[in-house]
Amino acid sequence: KIKIHASSPDQFLSTLIRTSSSEEFFDALNSQYSHLSTGKAITEKEYFSGAGMQLIVSPLREDAKILELAKKNELPDLIQAADIRGIIHSHSNWSDGSNTIEEMAMGAIDRGLEYLVISDHSKSAFYAQGLKEEKIREQHLYIDELNEKLYPFKIFKSIESDILNDGSLDYSNDVLATFDLVIASVHSNLKMTLDKSMMRLLKAIENPYTSILGHMTGRLLLSRPGYPVDHDVIIDACVANEVVIELNAHPNRLDMDWRHIRKAIEKGVLISIDPDAHFIEGLDDTTFGVMVAQKAMVTKENNLSSYSLAAFEKFVAARKKAKNI
């Protein structure tokens, strides 16, 4: 649905500000700052400068609290699409993806990226051709070959491990230890109570092999609301266990919701903007994730997929060492 707003030239800027703001934000802006010298402004930057504050870009025009931060010049430099340095959470035709690992890697290289994390589905995801242990060993050998061929680009060995009904991950610790990182996600038994969902998620977060919590609520926008979650408790658990929270950038998910991402980064959680790509073009879904992350005031420093290859390698090694893996 597209809305078209008509405006006279002299009212264009104020109309632009109004239509790109939430009602709460615009009402607060209008009531608190309308008396200031914004009338001669031509650009959005001039408009907010005339009100004595930083430019508030449209993704941040949601709640009135942003006005105080802008007045104090405390708005951060928001993450941009160009800040994404690697792809975390991608699938290949080893499970339910459409392209080979090499094709996915070449797609990332063509986009100027430095690394790709292959995280095919785990064995319990039989509907997605999840990988059994022997297939994992074969895939890891193949990735080693590709890394020699594609150097200095690097492919990391990962898995999107199902969080099982009892909260455990889908493989033995010996198998989990062979991955560079593990994305833990719920894919089954989605109709559950809050107590059940929290038990499963918290147990997975406390598992030392869990690196990233994938699409936290399991929601599918416009079709499935997701299972109930106490976001504050989950965020605190991720802080305590040094688990990254995914912002799944697939346009059907955009999960975790930006409102909770803002809380998470305030508590020091690292976010990972991940496309959950199942084909080459899906790599571009990171753009949607960046747009949502901007609403949450995420910076490139808050986002794992903004790390350079060297920084990402250091992150992976340090986490394994800290967890004695």
264-302: pLDDT as tens digits = 999 999 999 999 999 999 999 999 999 999 999 999 999
Residues 20-72 pLDDT 10s: 999 999 999 988 876 665 567 889 999 899 888 999 999 999 999 999 999 99
Give the neighbor-by-neighbor strand order of the sheet with 244-248.
86-90, 115-121, 154-162, 181-185, 212-213, 244-248, 271-274
Q: Are 261 and 74 in contact (CB under 8 A)?
A: no
Show the tokens assigned to 260: 């909770």
Residue ranges per structural domain of the chain: 9-71, 81-322
CATH second-level architecture of 81-322? Answer: Alpha-Beta Barrel (3.20)
Instruction: Look at residue 86 in the predicted model and tell me its pLDDT.
Output: 99
- Percent of the chain clearing pLDDT 70 (strictly above): 98
Instruction: Look at residue 39 in the predicted model and tell me its pLDDT.
Output: 64
Show the tokens assigned to 133: 């242990």
User: For the packed helices 286-295 and 258-266, what is the interaxial angle rounded to 10 degrees?
Assistant: 70
The whole-model pTM stands at 0.93
Instruction: Look at residue 74 in the predicted model and tell me its pLDDT.
Output: 96
Instruction: Tell me the average pLDDT of the chain.
Output: 96
Residues 192-249 pLDDT 10s: 999 999 999 999 999 999 999 999 999 999 999 999 999 999 999 999 999 999 999 9
DSSP labels, 149-161: HHTTSEEEEEEEE
End-to-end CA distance of the chain: 50
**Residue 151 φ then ψ, to 5°:** -50, 135
